[in-house]
Amino acid sequence: MFELQEPSPLSYLKQLSPTHRFGKVAEATIDRSHPNPTALDRNSIKVLSWNIAKNNQVRHWSNDFLAIVEQHQPDKIFLQEVRLCAIKQQIPELASMGWSFAPNLIDTLDNTYSGVLTATKSDRLGSQAKITQHQEPVTGTPKVSLFVEYSLGSDRDTLLTVNTHLINFVETSKFQFQLQEIEAIISQHQGAVIFSGDFNTWNRSRWLILLQMATRLGLTPAAFPPVEALKIKRFLLSPPLDYIFYRGFQQKIPNAKVINSISSSDHNPLLVELHLESD
């Protein structure tokens, strides 16, 4: 169970201090099952990945998100920087899907978790969270990765999804340590993998560490047509920050899109379509 931390009666100035505002959470997940799970279409799995910048409790994000879902009909949704009320634990826009949420902190001012969320209409077999040992400066908060396993229609075939937000504003060795922990879990899974999120690869060193890990695990980065790739979040001339990697799939590259019609986040959503490789 999560240890909910109610806001303490501190002074106004003390409440504004990040070191007092953000509380720790247990390394666990919050799961909501779909009442009528459906099997994935092995020939077409649409994947949406988006850092929503903690804006899912405001109307313009809801409008953006619902428009994307209606137009593109994603089968699996990977969201980073999601806010979840610690009491209600509901996200109305995802009422028609099952989801798993992994928090990395609780904001004691409004009693909300922040973390990553993976949503789908298919059958979930299990979920696991991994919180970083290291913390980002100023706020003193860690980052989290969410591992969810799904059925692919048979007892022996399963899909492992990994939704992550990699640690920022720290030395490269701490960034690499988080990736090593993720790699250790993925390496235990023999089947198909989708690994997605905000990787904070804002310099070449971080980018190369990520690509080297992907190579060791047999993961392929989703490709985007050049005009679409230019829309992915970057810092000046840095490598992209957001990626979707996969293993055990083939990609329908012409269908890959980066949606830049949204206004609710400084990251643009990534959308790719995959199909399972033949045995």
Going by pLDDT thresholds of 50, 70 and 90, the confidence category of residue 8 is very low
Burial of 76 (0-12, 13-18, 19+ CB in 10 A): buried
Q: Is residue 16 part of a domain?
A: no
Going by pLDDT thresholds of 50, 70 and 90, the confidence category of residue 3 is very low
Question: What pLDDT is recorded for position 19?
Answer: 60
Q: Is residue 156 part of a domain?
A: yes
Over residues 128-132, the mean pLDDT reads 98
Over residues 200-212, the mean pLDDT reads 98
Q: What is the rounded average pLDDT for all residues in the chain? A: 91
pLDDT in tens, 35-55: 788 888 989 999 999 999 999
Q: Is residue 5 part of a domain?
A: no
Task: Name the phi and psi angles at 52, rounded to 5.
Answer: -95, 5
With a cut of 90, say whether residue 16 has pLDDT above it.
Answer: no
Domain that holds residue 253: 24-276
CB-side neighbour CA atoms (13 Å) of 193: 24
pLDDT in tens, 143-155: 999 999 999 877 6
Tokens of 113: 């978790």
Percent of the chain with pLDDT over 90: 83
pTM confidence score: 0.92
| Number of domains present in the structure of the chain | 1
Q: Is residue 7 part of a domain?
A: no
Question: What pLDDT is recorded for position 10?
Answer: 38
CATH number at residue 185: 3.60.10.10
**Locate tokens 């929503």: which residue?**
52
Q: Is residue 14 part of a domain?
A: no
Question: What pLDDT is recorded for position 15?
Answer: 46
Q: Is residue 115 part of a domain?
A: yes
Gap between the Cα atoms of 247 and 212, Å rounded: 15
Q: Is residue 53 part of a domain?
A: yes
Q: Is residue 3 part of a domain?
A: no
Contact call for residues 194 and 161 (beta carbons, < 8 A): yes
The radius of gyration of the chain from alpha carbons, rounded to an integer in Å, stands at: 18
